[in-house]
């Protein structure tokens, strides 16, 4: 099992959710967040307090899937979330050790 975390533009969320559902991927967790990438944040002082001027609102989508799905989903996310402009986002993939469906006690892939 792998966890795919995609940080994307908020306006791409609905389209991505639909595309994932079409591929049979239904389980996901979505977070509203702020971030900056390689253009970095720069800090200015406003009334003595540091203010990050380019922390941009983003959406983080987290999916746990089986290993065989990962490459296809990366392609799908890139296709949907890409505009070609800086700030399109980033995808991280992590190993997942275990998943438990609380209702039934099922574990592993059958619980995903
Ligand atoms: N190395 C990183 N670690 C954690 N989060 C990151 C990292 N890089 C980017 N992010 C997150 O992804 C969001 C979008 O990043 P962004 O698309 O600007 O990446 P980038 O590397 O600057 O690429 P681009 O040059 O296309 O803008 C950021 O706002 C931040 O939330
Ligand atoms: Mg950037």
Task: Kindly report, residue by residue over 63-91, the tens digit of the pLDDT.
Answer: 999 999 999 999 999 999 999 998 999 99
Question: Where residue 100 falls among pLDDT bands split at 50, 70, 90?
Answer: very high
pLDDT value of position 4: 98
Computed over its alpha carbons, how large is the radius of gyration of the chain? 17
Residue range 5-23: average pLDDT? 97
Sequence-distant (≥ 6) Cβ neighbours of residue 23 within 8 angstroms:
72, 73, 76
d(CA 37, ligand 2 centre) in Å: 4
Pocket test for ligand 1, best of 10, 37, 62 (most atoms within 8 A of CB): 37
CATH code assigned at 73? 3.30.70.120
Measured in degrees and rounded to the nearest 5, phi and psi for residue 87 equal 95, 10
Give yes or no for residue 58 CB within 6 A of ligand 1: yes
Please tell me the total count of domains within the chain: 1
| Structural domain of 103 | 2-111
What confidence score (pLDDT) does residue 55 get?
84
Backbone angles phi, psi at 15, to 5 degrees: -65, -40
């Amino acid at each position: 099992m792998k966890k795919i975390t995609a940080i994307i533009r908020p306006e791409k969320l609905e389209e991505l959710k639909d595309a994932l559902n079409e591929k049979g991927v239904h389980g996901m967790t979505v977070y509203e967040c702020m971030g900056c990438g390689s253009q970095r944040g720069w800090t200015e002082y406003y009334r003595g307090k540091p203010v990050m001027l380019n922390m941009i609102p983003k959406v983080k989508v987290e999916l746990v899937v089986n290993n065989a799905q990962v490459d296809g989903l990366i392609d799908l996310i890139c296709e949907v979330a890409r505009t070609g402009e800086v700030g399109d986002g980033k995808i991280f993939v992590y190993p997942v050790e275990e998943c438990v469906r609380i209702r039934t006690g099922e574990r592993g892939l059958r619980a995903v």
